[in-house]
Every structure is written in structure tokens, then in C-alpha cells.
Amino acid sequence: MDYGDLEVEESKVEDILTLGHDVLKVDLRRNSMKYVRDKIVPERQIELYVNGKTYAVFLCLGSKIKELIVGHLLTEGLIDGIHEIESVNVAENKIYVHLAKELNLSLEKPRIILTMCSGRTGKVLPHVWMKRSVKESHSIKVDPRVIIEAIKKLNSKAYVFKETGATHSSALFNERGELLAFSEDIGRHNTIDKVVGEAAFKGVNFKKTLLVSTGRLTSEMVVKAANVGIPIIVSISAPTDRGIKIAELAGLTLIGFARGKRFNVYTHPERILNVFT
């Protein structure tokens, strides 16, 4: 496989925050108004072509682009593994992916992957849906304390958010709470794609992992986890009704409002160890 010159090293994340803007800060508590130079997250547009055909346009943070693209192909069910990718090449803000198999990508116009759940345009691809069930992944059992510590690690690594307040973050952990992959982005869907892509390159067995995120647990977020076989998804935010229904159908453990020392388990609680008996 040839991935080209696409990877952005983790050490360069801070360099992304080079844009500044003069902001008038109004503080009624201190009865003050003053101009300060504030750090701003730059938004990057990436066009994705698959097997020579226009597939999607991403609006994203300009880090871990390789992981974003590969993870997206996996979580959308376009590929079953990175072995199906023959090459990834970049020309400025255009990325060309060649797969070993042909896909039905008959779109009237590119899908636009925005920073909110209602942002997709164009036809919904017939194969972009839940490909598998994770009901067979009952073997993973997680201590509640592992989940609490995972949330703490997620928040502690969110450097761009601390500097700007403009990003979401996601991370992948094993059942012992060891960090396997982490990412920040302006889009919550993008953060999942990035950690899945990073973990795929590392050869991680997704059936033995839990995904932790800051984003709302909508149906699309749940489908992404299910499509790669992740059995547990956790968020500091709330789930939607469709997110809960799909998680139940898929056999996925859905956890929301993971804050402080508490969380709510909405589906398949059998994967959470009872440490109080």
C-alpha cells in the first residue's frame, strides 16, 4: 500500500493554532471591555475521490488526515479492512484513494461531511448503514472505574479544545483502560473516523475496545462504532432515541452522561462489571 505524503505528525498539532484574531472580550462581572489576541481553529476543506470518482467533501481540522480518510471508509462500511486499500495520494486539498474493489458510488453530487449531524447532502449510499452486529462481543467486561478514568484521559489530552473551545475529541481504549488512539477535530464524526483509522493502522482488535467521545450519541455515531465491531461507546453527552434503538439492535453498550464519577448505561449493561456486590 502506498499512502503518499499524507500523515500529519502528532507533534504538529500545536502548529495548527497559528491563526489569531483580535477579539473584543466583554466581561460584565468585572465591568470590562478589552481587545485580546485569541487563538482560532482553522477549518480545512478536503475533497475525497474513491477509484477516480468524487465521493465526499470534509470540513475538518488539518491533522491526522490519513487516519480520517481510512477511518471514514471503515466506519461507513465501504471497506472491511485496510488491506482493501491499494493507495492513498494527496494533491493539496484533494485526496485520491484507490481500492482493490469497485464500489457503487453513484452520487449526484459529493456528500458534504460537516460539523453537525444534519450536514450531509446528496444521496444516502445504500451500503452506508450498519454492516454487522456486535452481539457476539460479550466477552469484553469493563470495570466502571475504567470508564471514569477513560473520560479523564480524554479530557486531559484535548489540547486544542483547551486553547480554543472549538473542538470535539474521541479516544479508543482497551478493556484495561490503556489508550490506543486519540483525536480532536471540529466535527464529532471526524474524531471517530480519525481514532478508528489510527487504530486500524496499529492492527487493533476493535472487538476488545471501548470508544469514548465528547459528542452526542446519535444514530450515525452508533453506526460508525458498530460497523467496525466496537462493543462499547461512551460519551460525556446524551444519546438520541435513534442512537439508543440502533445500539440495542446492534448489541452495542451505549453509555451517556459520563461525568465525574457517574454515567448512565442505556443498552446492553451486561458488559459493565458490578463492583458493588
- For the segment 11-25, the average pLDDT, to the nearest whole number, is 70
C-alpha distances out from residue 29 to 25, 26, 34, 38, 165, Å: 12, 9, 13, 20, 21
- Is 25 in contact with 33 (CB distance < 8 Å)? yes
pLDDT at 111: 57
CA angle 161, 166, 169 (to 5 degrees): 55
The domain limits of the chain are 144-271
Residue 14's pLDDT band (boundaries 50, 70, 90)? low
- b (16+ CB within 10 A) / e for 246-261: bbeebbbbbbbebeee
Q: pTM to 2 decimals?
A: 0.85
- Is 256 in contact with 217 (CB distance < 8 Å)? yes
- For the segment 16-41, the average pLDDT, to the nearest whole number, is 86
* Dist. CA 207–CA 130, nearest whole Å: 15
pLDDT tens for 197-234 read 999 999 999 999 999 999 999 999 999 999 999 999 99
For strand 168-174 and strand 179-185, is the pairing parallel, antiparallel, or unpaired? antiparallel
Cα atoms in the Cβ-side hemisphere of radius 13 Å centred on 91: 3
For the question of residue 60 being annotated catalytic, the response is no
Identify the active-site residue in 117, 128, 140, 179: 117
- For the segment 28-49, the average pLDDT, to the nearest whole number, is 91
Residue 62's pLDDT band (boundaries 50, 70, 90)? confident
More confident of the two residues 121 and 20: 20
- Complete DSSP assignment for 187-255: SHHHHHHHHHHHHHHTT--GGGEEEEESS-B-HHHHHHHHHTT--EEEESSPBPHHHHHHHHHHT-EEE
- Complete DSSP assignment for 66-120: HHHHHHHHHHTTS-SSGGGEEEEEEETTEEEEEESS------SS-EEE-SSTT--
More confident of the two residues 20 and 116: 20
Assigned CATH for 144-271: 3.40.140.10
Q: What is the mean pLDDT of the chain?
A: 85
